[in-house]
Structure 1
Amino acid sequence: MHDFQKLRTVIVTRYITPLREGGSLPALTEADDGFKYVLKFRGAGHGVKALIAELLGGVIACKLGFKVPEVVFAELDEAFGRTEGDEEIQDLLQFSKGLNLALHFLSGALTFEPSADQDRVDEYLASKIVWLDAFITNVDRTFKNTNMLIWHKELWLIDHGASFYFHHSFTNWKQSALNPFALIKEHVLFPQATLLYEVDREFKSVLNEAFFKDLVSLIPEDWLQWREVDMTSSEIRKVYYDFLITRFKNSHLFIDEAKRIRNGSL
């Protein structure tokens, strides 16, 4: 049994301020345990799919040894936000009642700046992060938006909600799982990621089918009630599992793609 199977659930008690980054409008909040969290709302643009991506991506990153803020389930009461003056935020809160996702707030953390912080990331660490993002098809760790923080002089990974983008259409998961991920060349750390083959061997000894089975079991049942597909929650959950297994077994596809790009053969 993995520790992540004991993901905590907190109750949101206070909405502090919106974090106006991207279109999802996350917010800084406080919960009943006294801690502050960055709350991702199920009522935002990509709905529960962004929460699923955040959950799966964050837990995989944690399993692989990266520093990531604690991921928790966050319960939003039906009455929460009724006194909010901003109509857009009030609607978001009302549409998000129930179970959401939150990440522990790293107070005082600084955004990773490629020009200033690049020397913090050696070839080995860069290769590990690029491998992770290519595996989970995370399109959002670029020079424009690094989604990394420096906290207590260490590098932390945040925001995996743009991963697993196949699930927005959910039409051909297998084709998506075998995608070589040409977007790897846009990754902010791609220039340093020269040890992908070595990292692949290491990560193949950490991840396995049992882990992926446990991982997809974490997805809350009510996040899998999709009206746009004629599938049960169990069937949707199995697609995520099959996607992960297929991509894991074919990781050479995105590693070879990175090599071709680096060699200038594309």
Structure 2
Amino acid sequence: MKFATFAALASSLAVASAYPITGSTVNCRSGPGTSYAVKKSYTKGQDVKITCQTAGTSVEGNNIWDKTSDGCYVADYYVKTGTNGYVTGKCSTSTCVVPKSNQATVDLIAEFEGFRANVYTDATGHPTVGYGHLCTKSKCAEVKYSIPLSQANGKKLLADDMKRFEKCITSMTNTKATLNLNQYGALVSWSFNVGCGAAEGSSLIKRLNAGEAPNTVLANELPKWVHGNGQVLPGLVRRRNAEIALAKKATSDRALPEKC
């Protein structure tokens, strides 16, 4: 009887794989965390099928992320499964490595962002500190280093911020996008500047994923990203030109597709 009861329970869990969304608008991302690009969104009450679950960024104390039948990940906190634990099998662990930006990329971003020890408002109206860290809370309260920032801590914050955009570029490109570290670095700098969401929905990424030559795509597409508040900003023109120049600099160091 105990075995039969357990088998019935396991069977019911396997069948009951569709669960309602509890948040008003819930993003489904390319990976199990808030740093990954948004692939689509679900509305409140919409049923989603969960194919597997895995650990990721903690949301309100729950670090489980559900992979849906759409192939993207949604925070389990926003899915009414009836428990804060696992209700399906764990997703297979990927051994893919997100490439780390080279020093030329770090130097490019640092040069154009500039260093500011105190919080300031950037050209597009966003509170910013350090080497272009866009703040998410009032007075940049989320920054774990003391403000005013030292330059050393500013570099640490920049390195922390760049990881997010390295993950974004890696997750939003497919195996047809073959990039060396300099081309990859140009994209990391660009996405650091414009944001992961804007980058993912761009014709630039679509063209790379269609297998077009990276340097041709970057030379055509990056100059389009020079506006702020409806005006062409000279600083963005210079940055896009520097990113194109970096991409064109020859290197044998491969970045993408990622190593798995």
TM-score (ref. length: structure 1): 0.28
Higher strand share: 2
- Greater relative contact order, per chain length (Cα 8 Å cut-off, separation 6+): 1
